[in-house]
Amino acid sequence: MTSLKNCPAPAKLNLFLHVNGRRADGYHLLQTVFQLVDHGDTLHFTLRDDHLLRRVTAIDGVPEEGDLIIRAARLLQAEVLRRSGALPPGVDIAIDKILPMGGGLGGGSSDAATTLMALNHLWRAGLTREELMALGLPLGADIPFFIFGETAFAEGVGEALQLVTAPDCWYVVIEPGVAVPTAAIFCSEHLTRDTPPVIITDFSSYHENQTDLKGYGRNDLQQVATSLFPPVAEAIEWLSAHGDARMTGSGACVFCAVATQADADAVLQQVPAKWKAWKAQALTRHPLTKML
């Protein structure tokens, strides 16, 4: 096999996100549920006859050398060399980029995770899922989740993952048109860092007894983001008329759950033209696993 085309890199939503504390090294202790949805970027991999790793698609504001895609590929290439003593062939990587940067959807992390999974297959590297997760963690705390590839209850800095069930539903997502830098949210003096920890059974039992898709918990980062970025607050206020609207990740995108695709379409028809909005269905498993 010399190429692997149409590899999905799906978005994630944080169904809730609690900040429980802060470690001595500055990293925040979190609890969240990560939900994959069927909307995201698409990557294409073609082996080269040399050892270069190239991103052949230009992305505004993201130089090739700093892109998580290339950094992930380099990590895996070095690991293959370490294990086998032979450098695997280079790769041209193209991307159909639709997920916004600074949106809280995990786009860059998802792209990196798809790169690791696809190249592990193309290079016949033989790393396990757990080994790929460990390899990707230094690049970003969300990357292990995308490689884990299933709905997950996450703790720690986001890397301690347990399988959990979540509602089989649709989501309406609004992109408010601003990019929210994660560091600005976590560094804010107004961020509360003392939400009491919950346990996975709290989340599971809540959803087993809910039929209206009301959300569990809250997003502790939302108050800071909405105060710094008014368009986020405006989108949440508008979407709240249609469900339990909340922000995902550190922002800027906001979402609410609805029961059916028809319900999602009905909301989308009313979204003000100034915002980009889309619908997505909850996924129980990363779609790339079916291809590999």
* Exposure string over 45-64, b if 16+ CB within 10 A, otherwise e: bbbeeeeebbbebeeeebee
pLDDT of residue 177: 95
Encoded amino acid at 62, one letter: V
pLDDT of residue 165: 92
pLDDT of residue 214: 77
Reported as a pLDDT band with limits 50, 70 and 90, residue 174 is: very high
CA proximity to 140, closest of 197, 182, 173, 98:
182
CA proximity to 252, closest of 219, 229, 278:
229
* Cα–Cα distance list, 217 to 12, 19, 33, 149, 184 (Å): 17, 11, 10, 23, 23
Reported as a pLDDT band with limits 50, 70 and 90, residue 215 is: confident
Give DSSP secondary structure letters for 110-148.
HHHHHHHHHHHHHTT----HHHHHHHHGGG-TTHHHHHH
Taking the C-alpha atoms of residue 109 and residue 192, their distance in angstroms, rounded to an integer, is 25
Taking the C-alpha atoms of residue 43 and residue 48, their distance in angstroms, rounded to an integer, is 16
Q: How do 53-55 and 91-96 pair as beta strands? A: parallel
Domains of the chain, first to last: 3-163 (3.30.230.10), 170-283 (3.30.70.890)
Tokens at residue 151, please?
Answer: 């709905």
pLDDT of residue 184: 84
Specify the pTM: 0.96
- Count of CB atoms within 10 A of residue 124's CB? 10
- Count of CB atoms within 10 A of residue 128's CB? 9
Reported as a pLDDT band with limits 50, 70 and 90, residue 211 is: low
Name the average pLDDT for the chain: 94
The model's pLDDT over 252-274, given as tens digits with 9 standing for 90+, comes to 999 999 999 999 999 999 999 99
The model's pLDDT over 95-109, given as tens digits with 9 standing for 90+, comes to 999 999 999 999 999
The model's pLDDT over 72-81, given as tens digits with 9 standing for 90+, comes to 999 999 999 9
> Which residues does the annotation mark as catalytic?
12, 142
The model's pLDDT over 109-119, given as tens digits with 9 standing for 90+, comes to 999 999 999 99
Share of the chain above pLDDT 90, in %: 82
First to last CA, the chain: 12
